[in-house]
Amino acid sequence: MSFSTPDPLRTLLLDDIRGAQKMLSGVTRATAMEGSRYLSHLVGSPVHLKCENLQRTGSFKLRGAYVRIAGLSPEQRAAGVVAASAGNHAQGVALASSLLGVRSTVFMPVGAPLPKVAATRDYGADVRLHGQVVDETLAAAQDYADETGAVFIHPFDHPDIVAGQGTLGLEILEQCPEVRTIVVGVGGGGLAAGIAIAVKALRPDVRIIGVQAQNAACYPPSLAAGRPVSVETAQTMADGIKVGRPGDVPFAVISQLLDGLVTVSEDELSSALLLCLERAKMVVEPAGASPVAALLSKPETFEGPVVAVLSGGNVDPLVMQRILRHGMAAAGRYLSLRLRLTDRPGALATLLGALSVVDVNVLDVGHVRTDPRLGLTEAEVELHLETKGPEHCAEVGAVLREAGYTVLP
């Protein structure tokens, strides 16, 4: 199965996705569907997690990449393929190319996480680091395609890519035939579009809800305008769905078939990632946890049974460490504060003694005596505390105030 041109008006059909599913037999795995008691209690009906973070290469991207490359002509395969990505698409293209015996070149940003660069190389791609941001990397990949004749493999804006991602929708219906709502993260839109085509063809009653990060939400203005529009994206931990403009192909589908789209904050994303790790025992990247963030944000708005798609699990350990700390702070389990003390022997010990009364765990202490903002007899202390939740944080503040301390802004 292959389409000769990426025509946005080309109609993708259920048969195309079924053909992609046959093509992927023995290549991708049917990932697990796990129930979540915590989220089920929160929503008030069963919630299942579609664990695509356990897919080969750690995300759904292999599905579309393999279908796209498998559909190339012998001449195109001989010319090789090229892609640009900071992570998941890179690994999907690299493995798909290796499985099909096609030479692949993948451009990645200079600052791409080392584990993702190493994994892409291990899957067989010639990795070239270029540019500081993905847009620069993308331009380099397109220049390479023009110079060498290699086929550029777009991460989401091609019918074959959408058809490949749509196989995940077929799996969801097979594994959870009673589903009423599917929640899926949206970047360029390839995954959501593919799922929507497959599911709506078989179960038009099932609602498809997309989720974007508030700092990178290109679909709300595009849907309002009736066409893809570009937006300026801000920094977001959900880099997997940080896209400034919807793809033409997926937008044509999503604008017709998506039942709703919500945005989630950085706090909600980090809280969702923490929940996946603690409650579901799942390592999930922030973009992959976006459907869980939506459920945590407005649980009463989702009709169950619900399937939340955990689209990927490729997260750098150092980034994970920072995100988890952010998530603990958002959940009221990590508290940072600054106070000023009289600089005399025993003052710090007295402060820590006051904190011991409320059973708080002191993670780190910063003690500053030499700062022009401080008086001659003052010292500033910065504390990082592990707490048990918002009520415990409030209790810590009350104890400090009763002891005569003033928390600085």
Residues with catalytic roles: 61, 311
Question: 87: which residues sit within 8 A by CB, 6+ positions away?
Answer: 108, 112, 113, 116, 239, 240, 314
Contact (CB, 8 A) for 141 and 152: yes
Task: Identify the H or E element spanning 43.
Answer: helix 37-43
Concatenate the DSSP letters of all residues of 224-291 into one string.
HHTS---------S-GGG--SS--HHHHHHHHHH--EEEEE-HHHHHHHHHHHHHTS-----TTTTHH
Other Cβ atoms less than 10 A from the Cβ of 67: the count is: 32
For 14-103, strand residue ranges (E) read 33-35, 47-51, 81-84
Concatenate the DSSP letters of all residues of 317-359 into one string.
HHHHHHHHHHHHHHTT-EEEEEEEEE-STTHHHHHHHHHHTTT
Other Cβ atoms less than 10 A from the Cβ of 133: the count is: 11
Quick one: tokens of 121? 């190389």
- Is 380 strand, coil or helix? strand
